[in-house]
Amino acid sequence: MSSSLCHTSTSSSSSSPPYVQKTTPKSGESLFYTFPLSAHTEILSDSTFPTPSITSDWVYDYCASYEECDEDEQSLWNDLCMSIPDSHSLIPLITSGCSNYITKTSSYLELEELVTAVKIARCNSFSDRNIHPVVSRVNHSCLPNAIYLPTTMGCKLKTLREVEAGEEITISYLGINVFTSNGVRNSRLLEEKFFTCMCRRCSTPPIENRIPCEKCHPREGGGLTEEVEFEEGEVCYGVVMCEKCGEVFGKESLELRRKIEERAGKALNDEGEETSHRAKQGCVGGLKEPTSLRLVVGTELKRINGGLTLAFSQSFFDHSAISVTASNSYVTAGNSYAPKTPLGSTIVTIRYIDVIREIHEVCSQILGPRHYSTALTSLTIVDSMCHDFNRVMILGEKCDDLELAECIDSLGRVWNFGEGVMEGGGGLLCYGQCLTVARGLSVMGDEKSVHFGKVWAERAWGFLEGLGEEGERKVCMKLMEGKVEGEEGGEKPSKKMKI
Ligand SMILES: C[S@@+](CC[C@H](N)C(=O)[O-])C[C@H]1O[C@@H](n2cnc3c(N)ncnc32)[C@H](O)[C@@H]1O
């Protein structure tokens, strides 16, 4: 598409907006843009409704007959109340033609009405509180062509790629989970937004959860080694069947993999209420500072087919650390607090990031490098390292070169994963971390590092050019010119990650 033919601004000379709202059979009211748009163009900006809140108290107050409900109904009420964040918006009720609910403030709502109202609020609000008159009509796609960006007064939508005239505008409601498998994405959408997505990505075979074949993969007696992992030419992958030898993955093996995947997902999504709320809808996510968790470490050995011996703590599947080993012994990677007694159990305190490191090790060895759990746990580790690098650089010091090299190595794989799963997904997934390593390399000061710093800055620029904040863009531009951090009053970039 020629960019000269593309619409570049939302300020159309005609009085009607350059988009139309139409009803589609698959997803209800939808937004279509009338003109072609180039990548990273502002589509529209929107206001936010004032947001009176529906609190748990509110729900109880307006329950018609809680006292009169039978036990099952009361339990439904209780679940409903538990599920309402305190700042939930009342406005969706108005926008969805439920304004009669508002006028009923002096009377009570029936349970069924309220359940409907809360569902409407759930489906239409951003960050669990903001309703936007136009943007709340934008549907979801797992291959979105637009991104939601909050602003001080409301929000705006920008294109992620070129959009053809008359094409539907879509965003992702999934935050970082848009990089997960078809099954995970859809169970989240069903649970949180009450629909099943049927976008192009959902109807094609998944690539985000491919696992190495147990039969033709050379890993007798243990997990994959880093060395083997990345000789991708020799490694065969499949979701339920190996693409090369046709071996069907056994039930037990898939079950174990599913459990590991679930555990990783739980760790990634449980890291903080704030983060998971932010990641729920719209596109702003973010990884929090590592927090401490109390862990129960117990160990048992389990043999699965293919000669792989896995020693894992039972509590790994609840909230704990895990160990992988090649033989009958076991190790507790990086966890000096853990007891060396198999089947024993004790309570230890371990940092969140250390749990992620252990889970990542398991994901990497059992699920392989192409699996989203491996990539996303790796991203969390990279993000944590970037936090540390930023702290060091604020003090005017250089990053530890070995740590920086390790971080860059992992970031390269995360980037490739993002690019493979979604077009332009590398930037979407990790542009902030790319910028940090670019700074780290630039601060190193030698010619080679500065050169590689430019390469990483260019990667970040692919996203930041049209979608980043001004401060980030300035820093990125300086790094692309090969200017060392701090020169000419270079600003510190935000370490925040946006999804
Ligand atoms: C924020 S609203 C979007 C506007 C909505 N289509 C309407 O009619 O008001 C979210 C709701 O739209 C529907 N929806 C959004 N994306 C969808 C998709 N990819 N497939 C099916 N339904 C979708 C679901 O009912 C979802 O709960």
**42 burial via Cβ count (<10 Å: 0-12, 13-18, 19+):** middle
DSSP string, 356-414: HHHHHHHIIIII-TTBHHHHHHHHHHHHHHHHHHHHHHHTT-PPPHHHHHHHHHHHHHH
Q: How far is the CA of 138 from the centre of ligand 1 (A)?
A: 7
Query: Does pLDDT of 413 surpass 90?
Result: yes
Dig out the tokens for 240 from the structure. Answer: 């339920």
Q: Is 129 in the pocket of ligand 1 (CB under 6 A)?
A: no
Q: Is 60 in the pocket of ligand 1 (CB under 6 A)?
A: no
* Residue carrying structure tokens 């704990």: 320
Report pLDDT for 361. Answer: 83
DSSP3 helix / strand / coil % (the chain, rounded to 5): 45, 15, 40
Q: How far is the CA of 131 from the centre of ligand 1 (A)?
A: 14
pLDDT band of residue 383 (cuts 50, 70, 90) is very high
Q: Quote the CA–CA distance of 199 and 139 in Å, as a whole number.
A: 11
Q: How far is the CA of 135 from the centre of ligand 1 (A)?
A: 11
Report the nearest atom of ligand 1 relative to the CA of 199: 19
Q: Quote the CA–CA distance of 452 and 468 in Å, as a whole number.
A: 21
Adjacent-strand bridge partners of 241: 248
Q: Is 22 in the pocket of ligand 1 (CB under 6 A)?
A: no
DSSP 168: B
pLDDT band of residue 469 (cuts 50, 70, 90) is confident
Average pLDDT over residues 75-89: 67
Report the nearest atom of ligand 1 relative to the CA of 96: 9
Report the nearest atom of ligand 1 relative to the CA of 136: 1
Q: Is 186 in the pocket of ligand 1 (CB under 6 A)?
A: no
Give 318 or 202, the one with higher predicted confidence: 202
Distance of CA 305 to the CA centre of its chain: 32
Extract the runs of DSSP E, i.e. beta strands, from 85-161: 88-89, 139-140, 146-150, 154-159
Q: Quote the CA–CA distance of 19 and 137 in Å, as a whole number.
A: 12
Q: How far is the CA of 484 from the centre of ligand 1 (A)?
A: 47
Q: How far is the CA of 24 from the centre of ligand 1 (A)?
A: 10
Contacts with 439 (C-beta within 8 Å, 6 or more apart), sequence order = 389, 390, 393, 453, 475, 479, 485, 493
Query: Does pLDDT of 302 surpass 60?
Result: no
Q: Quote the CA–CA distance of 311 and 120 in Å, as a whole number.
A: 46
Do 464 and 476 touch, CB atoms closer than 8 A?
yes
Q: Quote the CA–CA distance of 118 and 110 in Å, as a whole number.
A: 12
Q: Is 140 in the pocket of ligand 1 (CB under 6 A)?
A: yes
The pLDDT mean for the chain works out to 72
Q: Phi first, then psi: give them for residue 368, nearest 5 degrees.
A: 85, 170
Cβ atoms within 10 A of the Cβ of 163, count?
Answer: 25
Q: How far is the CA of 27 from the centre of ligand 1 (A)?
A: 5
Q: Is 172 in the pocket of ligand 1 (CB under 6 A)?
A: no
**pLDDT tens digits, 389-409:** 999 999 999 999 999 999 999
**pLDDT tens digits, 51-74:** 555 666 666 666 656 777 778 877
Q: Of 406, 404, 434, 437, nearest to 418 (Cα)?
A: 434
Helix (H, G, I), strand (E, B) or coil at 43: strand
Q: Of 316-325, 364-373, 488-497, which gets the smallest average pLDDT?
A: 316-325
Ligand 1, pocket-test mutation among 139, 173, 185, 194, most atoms within 8 A of CB: 139
Helix (H, G, I), strand (E, B) or coil at 292: strand
Q: How far is the CA of 173 from the centre of ligand 1 (A)?
A: 10
Average pLDDT over residues 198-211: 90
Alpha-carbon torsion (346, 351, 353, 354), positive or negative: negative
Q: Where are the domains of the chain?
A: 3-48+132-193, 53-124, 211-367, 394-489
| Terminal-to-terminal C-alpha distance of the chain | 26
Contacts with 326 (C-beta within 8 Å, 6 or more apart), sequence order = 221, 222, 223, 309
CA angle 62, 63, 67 (to 5 degrees): 135
Q: How far is the CA of 139 from the centre of ligand 1 (A)?
A: 5
* Residue carrying structure tokens 């409900």: 69
**pLDDT tens digits, 205-246:** 888 988 887 777 655 434 455 444 445 556 677 788 887 778
Question: Domain 3-48+132-193, what architecture?
Answer: Beta Complex (2.170)
Do 354 and 340 touch, CB atoms closer than 8 A?
no
Helix (H, G, I), strand (E, B) or coil at 133: coil
Ligand 1, pocket-test mutation among 32, 119, 123, most atoms within 8 A of CB: 123
Distance of CA 294 to the CA centre of its chain: 24
Q: How far is the CA of 140 from the centre of ligand 1 (A)?
A: 7
Longest dimension (CA), the chain: 76
Residue whose Cα lies nearest atom 14 of ligand 1: it is 27
Q: How far is the CA of 93 from the centre of ligand 1 (A)?
A: 16
Report pLDDT for 215. Answer: 73
Q: Quote the CA–CA distance of 386 and 373 in Å, as a whole number.
A: 20
Ligand 1, pocket-test mutation among 140, 141, 280, most atoms within 8 A of CB: 140
Q: Is 27 in the pocket of ligand 1 (CB under 6 A)?
A: yes
